[in-house]
Amino acid sequence: MAEIVRTRFAPSPTGYLHVGGARTALFNYLLARRLGGRFILRIEDTDQTRNIEAADAKLMEDLRWLGLTWDEGPEVEGPYGPYHQSQRRALYDEHARRLLDAGLAYYAMETREELEALRRAAVQRGDKGYRYARPTRFPSESEARAARDAGRPVVIRFKMPERDFVVPDRILGEVTIRAAELSDFVLMKADGWPTYHFAVVVDDAAMKITHVLRGQEHLMNTPNHIALFEAFGAPVPQFAHLPIIFNMNGTKMSKREKDKVVRDAARAAGLADERLGALAGLHDAELVRAWRAEQTQLPGDALARLARALHVTVPEIEIHDFRRSGYLPEVLVNFIALLGWNPGTPQERFTLDELCAAFSLERVGKTNAKFDREKLLAFNTAALAAAEPARKLAAFRDWLAVNERGPLTELDDATRAHLIELCRGFRTFADIELKCGALFVPDQAIEYDEKAVKQHLLKGAGQGVAVLRELRPRLAALSDWTAAALDVAVRAFADERQLGLGKVAQPLRVAVTGTTISPQISDTLALLGRERTLARIDRALTHAAASTREAV
């Protein structure tokens, strides 16, 4: 009678889903799927000061985008709901009462200042590592009530058994934590909410969680949790502490980093707060000032606007960032799975289903990993190259939907699919906009990259300009404006003039897009249409003439 495996992902709603969180969620999901168990989502919203509006919805959207669907949780009824801890308070109260009555917990009413003084005194005494010392006498119910009425902060602490604890970890092996490292931790905060340690264990026990996979930063908490499971007479789940994911430079992948990059750029640009606020679309001058002083973070959309204005790329930290940058969810899943886990075979490309079939805790490593965006990009490129057209179209549509309006926003599906084909070899969906965006913008809106103009139009006594002048009437007279016909025409012209194709295609490209980046020239012109092509050539010739005059 094998016990049914139940794993859970228990994020606190402080924003979008983070890469590290996604990895934890993924491994829990994979383990449940592999073992025929259930994957539970629980929202840990017990900190009244940290919860962010609608963050749980964002978290869920990101999980769903990745394909990590839960069997029980918010929006998916299960037998142990509700799945927001804020809605389970009666359960915590009840458990606290039980521990109090059993003499396993007690009231404590030190203020923060008193606690701090105790700590300082211990340090001065030369104690190694201060721990809260259990009082010799515990306050009674009435004393606790009186203290609370008098405005003192009253908490409930757990009487931590005074013994060594061995954490049997499925990844790390047996880790022993000495009694001296442990202390009577807080169960219920003065505001009446449970602490993380308490709520986690109450819920894991209530929800019959069998395997707890979480980040290694939780390892030292585990004795507390084991002691609580034991106090409740509940079975202790299996633990597996996952290595941590870092940035390439070894720093933590923190949301703050996004602000840092943009802030540095803002400083380098030397812009005033007022101007920064305008660029970010913010009216709150105080917010901008605080942000510049590294005292706060900017809302995501404001940060994105500012980054765009300053021409910097905000590093992707949260799953949503990667979505906006044009990555495929299945690629993210594949890549993240390989951060800490490997199949033991040379296979590197996995679908979610394949991961479900191959996953095992035995093959999870112990060493921290750095998140290499270059490798992720390579994975995305390969996946895109191999994906079915329908898949690419759907993903492209999703990318357009999560980004601000751009030149490609309004296109119909047929055109979108066409662009995807023309851009074969692209790395992210953002590349399609980079490469084709100029073709869907008013003629007046295209800006010339002066380096490109010089290189391909003006250089060699205006060789490029000459090509354009000669080519223009031919294009105007072309009977058939299709990619095939244009290809023939352009090649014929190049042949005739004994020019390499590049000498013809590049001037055209610059004339028509302002840059050297676009699809193959015949496709580019076909997409643009005869009229706009000719109009843009004229506009470019005018621009080139002006540039030449300036240079003189």
Partner RNA sequence: GCCCCCAUCGUCUAGAGGCCUAGGACACCGGCUUUUCAAGCCGGCGACACGGGUUCGAAUCCCGUUGGGGGCGCCA
Per-residue x/- marks for RNA, 351-380, CB under 7 A?
A: ------------x-xxxxxx-x-xx-xx--
* Span of 60-68, 87-95, 170-178, 276-284 interacting with RNA by CB under 7 A: 170-178
Residues 124-153 that bind RNA (CB under 7 A): 128-132, 153
Contact stretch for RNA (CB under 7 A) within 4-12, 286-294, 320-328, 440-448: 4-12
Contact pattern from residue 395 through residue 424 relative to RNA, giving x for each residue in contact according to CB under 7 A and a dash for the rest: -----------------------------x
Give a three-class secondary structure readout of 14-62: CCCCEHHHHHHHHHHHHHHHHCCCEEEECECCCCCCCCCCCHHHHHHHH
From the list 459, 415, 438, 444, the residue with the least C-alpha distance to 509 is 438
Q: Per-residue x/- marks for RNA, 324-343, CB under 7 A?
A: --------------xxx-x-
Q: Is 331 helix (H, G, I), strand (E, B) or coil?
A: helix
Q: Which of residues 236-265 bind RNA (CB under 7 A)?
A: 243-244, 246, 248, 250, 252
Place of tokens 């009577």: 184
Q: What is the Cα–Cα distance from 382 to 268, expressed in whole angstroms?
A: 36
Binding mask 456-495 for RNA (x = CB under 7 A): -------------------------------x--xx----
How many positions of this chain bind RNA (CB under 7 A)? 92
Q: 167: which strand partners?
A: 175
Q: Judge whether 454 counts as a catalytic residue.
A: no
Q: At closest approach, how far in Å is the CB of 33 from RNA?
A: 21
From 8-16, 32-40, 225-233, 459-467, give the range in contact with RNA by CB under 7 A.
8-16
User: How does strand 211-215 pair with strand 155-158?
Assistant: unpaired
What are the residues whose beta carbons fall under 8 Å from the beta carbon of 36, sequence distance 6 or more? Answer: 4, 5
Mapping DSSP onto H, E and C, the string for 417-470 reads: HHHHHHCCCCCCHHHHHHHHHHHHCCHHHCCCCHHHHHHHHHHHHHHHHHHHHH
- Nearer of residues 288 and 330 to RNA, judged by Cβ: 330
Asked if 387 interacts with RNA (CB under 7 A), we say no
What is the rounded CA–CA span in Å between residue 229 and residue 209? 11
CB 259 within 8 A of CB 317: no
Q: How far is the CB of 431 from RNA (least distance, A)?
A: 6
Q: Which stretch binds RNA (CB under 7 A): 172-180, 317-325, 391-399, 407-415?
A: 172-180
Catalytic residue among 159, 208, 255, 454: 255
- 217-236 footprint of RNA as x/- string (CB under 7 A): xxxxx---------------
Cα separation of 341 and 171, whole Å?
11
CB of 204 to RNA, least distance (A): 12
Whole-angstrom Cα distance, residue 2 to residue 214?
Answer: 23
**Could you tell me which residues come within 8 angstroms of residue 435 by beta carbon, excluding any fewer than 6 positions away?**
423, 426, 517, 518, 519
- The DSSP bridge partners found for residue 241 are 214
Examine residue 44 and tell whether it contacts RNA (CB under 7 A): yes
Site string for RNA, 90-129 (x = CB under 7 A): -------------------xxxx--x---x--------xx
Which residue from 24, 46, 334, 533 is in contact with RNA, where contact means CB under 7 A?
46
Supply the minimum distance, in Å, between the C-beta of residue 31 and RNA: 17
Residue 416: count other Cβ atoms within 10 Å of its Cβ: 17
Q: 516 or 547: whose CB is closer to RNA?
A: 516
User: Dihedral sign, CA of 523, 528, 530, 532?
Assistant: negative
Binding of RNA by 348 (CB under 7 A): yes
Out of 238, 360, 516, 548, point to the residue binding RNA (CB under 7 A).
516
What is the H or E stretch that residue 507 is in?
helix 501-513
Distance from C-alpha of 187 to C-alpha of 232, rounded to nearest angstrom: 13
Per CB under 7 A, the list member of 135, 235, 299, 344 interacting with RNA is: 344
User: How many Cβ atoms from other residues are within 10 Å of residue 313's Cβ?
Assistant: 12
Which CB atom, from 301 or from 372, has the smaller least distance to RNA?
372
Q: Which of 346, 390, 498, 552 binds RNA (CB under 7 A)?
A: 346
Show which residues are catalytic: 255
